[in-house]
């Protein structure tokens, strides 16, 4: 059986994670982000610069006059708007491909992750928490699956047999077949990519937020984003609906079970905006 350390050593075969996005996440805890810092992290990436300029000049934002430089565009849009769009598009290269080991079609994991991020953001805004930090944790919660998919593909028949025989959540199947799960791998992956400890731990514990210690609140948002995305029909892979809502996730975020349908409705509305911004179909 492979060890988790051997799995992590294989991540060099993955597409490189955008360094400027990692650097942008370091600004998430700042209450007043300097525009020049944001510009400095984007300006040497032609694709991102073009994206921000196009976004600012789009009809969606109702620009009365076009912006002429990146700094003006950043000032108009604001850090949170830019960060969330950049994060969504920057992760597409990793999350869009088919993940055969999980039975996930091309594009499904990315749509699920973006949906979870939108849900988390909606809840965080209502709870007066940091929307971009929550957005990021929810967006990256399943990042470990892109590493484990290839390993599980070689065990495809065993995965199917295990899920049918035991009717177990995929997390349990991973642990039975590999000795660890995608959440643990995701946390280790974010540590390798030098993300903050709070994001790494939130991803590592997004199926068990109560075990995340001081980062339990952020892990709980990732749990709820994941769960509600599946309830909305944006699950992916085997047994996407195999969820039992954990009471601690509700307690940690201040959300009640009665609130969930309302958050689903808000998220459906918000996804229309995301579709317009990112040009993807939900």
DSSP characters for the chain?
---HHHHHHGGGGSPPPPHHHHHHHTTTT-SS--HHHHHHHHTT-HHHHHHHHHHHHSGGGT-SS---SHHHHHHHH-HHHHHHHHHHHHTHHHHSS-BGGGTBPTTHHHHHHHHHHHHHHHHHHHTTS-HHHHHHHHHTTTTTHHHHHHHHHTTHHHHHHHHHHH---HHHHHHHHHSS-HHHHHHHHHHHTT--HHHHHHHHTTT-GGGSGGGHHHHHHHHHHHHHHHHTT---STTTT-----HHHHHHHT--GGGHHHHHHHHHHHHHHHHHHHT---
Q: Is residue 181 part of a domain?
A: yes
| Strongest mean pLDDT among 32-46, 151-165, 253-267 | 253-267
Q: How confident is the model at residue 33 (pLDDT cuts 50, 70, 90)?
A: confident
Name the residue with higher pLDDT: 233 or 126.
126
Q: Is residue 199 part of a domain?
A: yes
Q: Is residue 179 part of a domain?
A: yes
Q: Which pLDDT tens digit goes with each residue over 70-82? A: 888 888 888 888 8
Name the residue with higher pLDDT: 157 or 81.
81
Q: Is residue 259 part of a domain?
A: yes
Q: Is residue 140 part of a domain?
A: yes
pTM: 0.85
Distance between CA 224 and CA 222 in Å, rounded? Answer: 6
Distance between CA 218 and CA 77 in Å, rounded? Answer: 25
Distance between CA 64 and CA 228 in Å, rounded? Answer: 37
Name the residue with higher pLDDT: 211 or 53.
211
Q: How confident is the model at residue 163 (pLDDT cuts 50, 70, 90)?
A: low
pLDDT value at position 162? 66
The tokens describing 193, both together, are 């990519």
pLDDT of residue 3 exceeding 80: no
Q: Is residue 53 part of a domain?
A: no
> What is the domain-level CATH number for residue 153?
1.10.3210.10
The tokens describing 252, both together, are 């940690």
Total tally of structural domains belonging to the chain: 1
Name the residue with higher pLDDT: 278 or 6.
6
Q: Is residue 226 part of a domain?
A: yes
Q: Is residue 63 part of a domain?
A: no
The whole domain housing 252 covers: 91-278
Q: How confident is the model at residue 25 (pLDDT cuts 50, 70, 90)?
A: confident
């Amino acid at each position: 059986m492979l060890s988790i350390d051997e799995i992590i050593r294989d991540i060099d075969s993955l597409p490189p994670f955008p360094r400027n996005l990692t650097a942008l996440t370091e600004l998430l805890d700042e209450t007043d982000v300097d525009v020049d810092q944001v510009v400095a992290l984007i300006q040497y990436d032609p694709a991102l610069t073009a994206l921000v300029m196009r976004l600012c000049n789009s009809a969606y934002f109702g620009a009365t006059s076009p912006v002429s430089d990146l700094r003006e565009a950043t000032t108009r849009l604001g850090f949170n708007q830019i960060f969330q769009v950049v994060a969504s598009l920057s992760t597409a290269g990793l999350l869009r491909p088919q993940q055969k080991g999980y039975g996930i079609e091309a594009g499904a994991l990315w749509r699920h992750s973006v949906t979870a991020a939108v849900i988390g953001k909606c809840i965080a805004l209502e709870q007066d928490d940091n929307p971009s930090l929550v957005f990021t944790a929810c967006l990256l919660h399943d990042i470990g699956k892109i590493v484990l998919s290839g390993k599980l593909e070689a065990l495809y028949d065993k995965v199917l047999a295990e899920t049918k025989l035991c009717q177990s959540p995929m997390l349990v199947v991973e642990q039975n077949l590999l000795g660890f799960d995608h959440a643990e791998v995701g946390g280790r992956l974010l540590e390798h990519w030098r993300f903050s400890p709070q994001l790494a731990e939130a991803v590592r514990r997004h199926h068990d937020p109560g075990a995340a210690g001081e980062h339990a609140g952020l892990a709980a948002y990732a749990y709820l984003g994941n769960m509600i995305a599946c309830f909305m029909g944006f699950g992916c892979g085997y047994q996407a609906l195999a969820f039992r809502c954990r009471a601690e996730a509700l307690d940690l975020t201040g959300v009640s079970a009665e609130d969930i349908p309302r958050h689903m409705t808000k998220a459906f509305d918000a996804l229309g905006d995301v579709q317009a911004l990112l040009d993807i179909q939900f």
